[in-house]
Amino acid sequence: MESQVTGIRLMSLEHPSDQKDTRSRRLKEKLRQWGRGAQEKSHWVAERLMDRRICVGVTGLSGAGKSTLLTSLIYQLSHPQKAQLPGFAPALNGDLLGAEIKPALDSGLPVFDYESCLNALMSNPPRWPKSTRDVSAMELHIHLRRHRRFRGNGHKTLILELRDYPGEWLMDLPMMRMDFRDWCRHQAHIIGGDTRAGLAPELLQRLAALSPQAEAKESELTALWRDYRQFLLDCRGERKLSYLQPGRALLDDEDYRVLPLLDLRGFSADELRQLPEKSNYQVLRRHYETYVHDRVAPFLDSHFKHLDRQLVLVDMIGTLFAGEQALEDMRLAFTHIADTFRYGDSGLLSKLWRPKVNRLLFAATKVDQVLAADHDALRQLLGQQLQQTFTGARHRGLPIFSEAIAAVRCSREDQRNGRRMLVGHDLNGRYLGFENAEISSHLPSEEGGWSHYTGAAPPQLRPPQGMDAGSIPHIRVDALLNLLLGDKV
């Protein structure tokens, strides 16, 4: 009201011709800005229209294998003579000429540090890339031979823009459509519904006992946040759970203080709204809203909506061998990813944002940890989990694919005493041979069936030695490339 009145007063002080001038100046400035923007974007739009540019999001929870896959993928495409990519048609036909990395200038994001990831893999002894915590982007200019009917062979370049971001950010997106009260109830439901409460019973009791109307005490909330963050880290580290919020608590140690009130029974929505500003409910509500506004919404706005295709990496082996609860939680995470990508007006996020992702790929990573005979079962298991969550007409028109890959193959198969086994080096460089627990394409249904997997996880492996002399061995990265780009090359 106040500003309206001020606005009218200011207007009345201007001469009518001044007003006209101001308006036309503003309009001209707008047109100029629009022109500048259009010029900058025009090459981008033209490339898109000519099918020469594609933007792919690569995500997965921390440790899923994003940095390693990106490094392997870039290496394979940039060294067509050394790469083994029989499943990728341009490589098979000799039309893949090479690739070069360029910064993704339009994105304004830091460039993926390919050099240091590659150096780590190629060093002696080889190492895995360092864990990364932030988003990065790059353009990979893929040079291909083009066969023209009458004018001989030519060249074309496909620009593959790769945006790598933590899966934890994706897990936060459902918070966009929940207010604080909804989120508290959602968290209470999840925590009460499985055995994760067993990881921190005392903490969860303290949270449930936190009275919504009592005045908030800074020191109490600080202590609760420290313990809650540790609880989330244990859910990931010890139980291999996937659907954990706020996701950024797993990536950095900022003082977000986004805590759920686990017992809101006895309070209607109206009663909660009217609680004093200094009450626990109102203080935590403000923390929650700040987090959603400052962290979650900008990601959706500036980054996520540019993607044409989305690749989600899943540590299916780690999850399966962690047991039934980890797998159920992964399914829960898939349900929320499915909601994010749901098409049509019924999509819960569609009012805020309409996804334009036209292909969604899931890949189980690190399959070199199990025998080749189990790779197909893994792919089938992943497919079943996806089928259960992406059912019905809601995703019609959005093709979903699943694969099972190893970005860097660290093991090879051998025969010992008539049995097939895997041999490789563990993380300490010790040479070892092992046989993984056989993977069935169906989840255990009978009582006690999960004991076949729990505690029997295959060992973590070190990258193989000697890659600097030649190619990076992999499993089905070429098939993944085909799913990602096959229709664009």
Ligand X SMILES: Nc1nc2c(ncn2[C@@H]2O[C@H](COP(=O)(O)OP(=O)(O)OP(=O)(O)O)[C@@H](O)[C@H]2O)c(=O)[nH]1
User: Which residues are at the interface with ligand X (CB under 6 A)?
Assistant: 60, 62-68, 128-129, 131-132, 166, 365-366, 368-369, 406-408, 410, 460-461
- Relative to beta strand 359-364, strand 400-404 is parallel
The residue among 116 and 358 lying less far from Mg ion, judged by its C-beta, is 116
User: Which residues from 131-150 bind Mg ion, rule CB under 5 A?
Assistant: 132
The residue among 115 and 220 lying less far from ligand X, judged by its C-beta, is 115
If we measure between CA atoms, which residue out of 405, 452, 400, 459 comes closest to residue 428?
Answer: 459
162-188 burial: b if 16+ Cβ within 10 Å, else e: bbbbbbbbbbbbbbbebebbebbbebb
Q: N- to C-terminal Cα distance for the chain?
A: 58
* Least Å from the CB of residue 405 to ligand X: 7
The residue among 139 and 368 lying less far from ligand X, judged by its C-beta, is 368
- Relative to beta strand 53-60, strand 153-166 is parallel
| Region of 371 on the Ramachandran plot (φ > 0 left; ψ -120 to 50 alpha; else beta) | beta
* Least Å from the CB of residue 140 to ligand X: 17
**C-beta atoms surrounding 411 within 10 Å:** 27
* Least Å from the CB of residue 70 to Mg ion: 8
- The first and second tokens of residue 346, run together, are 């019924």
Q: Which does 68 bind (CB under 5 to 8 A by kind): Mg ion, ligand X, none?
A: ligand X
CA dist 54 and 45 (Å) reads 11
Q: Which does 347 bind (CB under 5 to 8 A by kind): Mg ion, ligand X, none?
A: none
Q: Which does 407 bind (CB under 5 to 8 A by kind): ligand X, Mg ion, none?
A: ligand X
Q: Which does 60 bind (CB under 5 to 8 A by kind): ligand X, Mg ion, none?
A: ligand X
Quick one: which segment of 67-75, 80-88, 386-394, 440-448 binds Mg ion (CB under 5 A)? 67-75
Quick one: which segment of 58-66, 75-83, 255-263, 390-398 binds Mg ion (CB under 5 A)? 58-66
Query: In angstroms, how far is CA 432 from the centroid of its own chain?
Result: 33
* Least Å from the CB of residue 423 to ligand X: 13
* Least Å from the CB of residue 94 to Mg ion: 33
* Half-sphere exposure at residue 325, Cβ-oriented, CA atoms within 13 angstroms: 15
The residue among 188 and 405 lying less far from ligand X, judged by its C-beta, is 405
Q: Which does 404 bind (CB under 5 to 8 A by kind): Mg ion, ligand X, none?
A: none
* Least Å from the CB of residue 253 to ligand X: 15
The residue among 157 and 465 lying less far from ligand X, judged by its C-beta, is 465
* Least Å from the CB of residue 135 to Mg ion: 11
Q: Examine residue 125 and say whether the peptide bond preceding it is cis (omega within 30 degrees of 0).
A: yes
The residue among 242 and 279 lying less far from ligand X, judged by its C-beta, is 242
Among 59, 67, 282, 310, binds Mg ion (CB under 5 A): 67
Interface ranges with Mg ion (CB under 5 A) = 66-67, 132
